[in-house]
Amino acid sequence: MKFPGMDIYRSIVITGGSGMLAQALAEQLRGRGIEPVLLAHAQLDITQAPAVRAVFEQYRPTLLLNCAAHTGVDQCEQEPERANAINGDAVRLLADTARDFGTRLVHFSTDFVFDGQSHQPYRPEDAPNPLSAYGKSKRLGEVELAAHAPPGWMILRTSWLFGRPGNCFPQTIVNLARKGTPLTVVNDQLGCPTYALDLAAATFDLLDVGAQGIQHVTNEGQTTWFDFAQAILKAFDLTAEITPVTTAQWTQMRPHQARRPAYSVLDTRFFFQATGNALRHWSAALRDYRTLSWAS
């Protein structure tokens, strides 16, 4: 079913405009002949109500894609109030303003809203129970968006995002391996690596069919961080000393890090049912990531 009302692609604003996902969304839109407005933090602090309203007044967006976030998972443990302000309270502000302007709002969330106690992929309707300050702040944003409900709102949960520009797990592994640094990687957390360009394409596939509410989108396949790291080394033709460890061992080495879910595979069946598409396996996406000139 198509989303009723105005052409949502007429005026598009993307917050967090300098980040990996925002850049991927913009690239997909340009492939459709659409030029979005990209607003980095220096141009829009989403925690500031006057600045948010000014952006809506200036651009009158029909669609706002919120990529602005505090994504430092471990850093959030040290500054939970800041995490809640950016990942939670600011989403309420965006939702309220989007409702006033009749703007469709898409917000991106995370597998970290779950506690990892499941043994089967998490469905959108499964009860969240975040373990970390980061996960709690992202869950707060979900709750605020649903409660303040602009028309046709959508939350896209994803996991283990990688791409360019910016820091991500594959870039970290490649950089350390090239320096000859021994690698120690957790081998008992299971999830789904997701390529930012694929997530961006999936976002517009969902919008095209009028999807609303909470959606789960990841690349196909599941793996551990250790096996993901090994695949990265192979893709980049690198060798490195790499040691698998348990979460308990990792916590002993780095006791101040945030707790991560042991299992955070997301159920993406609705995406396939709604769009008729399925994202490719993460290993195929990793090969595309490998071809990027910066990483050659």
Q: Where in the sequence numbering do the catalytic residues fall?
A: 134
Beta bridge partner(s), residue 281: 220
Residues shown for the chain:
296
Pairing of strands 63-66, 104-110: parallel
Q: Checking phi first, is residue 140 left (phi over 0); if not, alpha (psi -120 to 50) or beta?
A: alpha
Listed residue (117, 281, 140) closest to 189, CA to CA:
117
Quote the longest CA-to-CA distance of the chain: 56
Q: Checking phi first, is residue 144 left (phi over 0); if not, alpha (psi -120 to 50) or beta?
A: alpha
75 CB contacts (<8 Å, ≥6 apart)? Answer: none
Distance between CA atoms of 153 and 103, rounded to whole angstroms? 9
Distance between CA atoms of 168 and 220, rounded to whole angstroms? 19
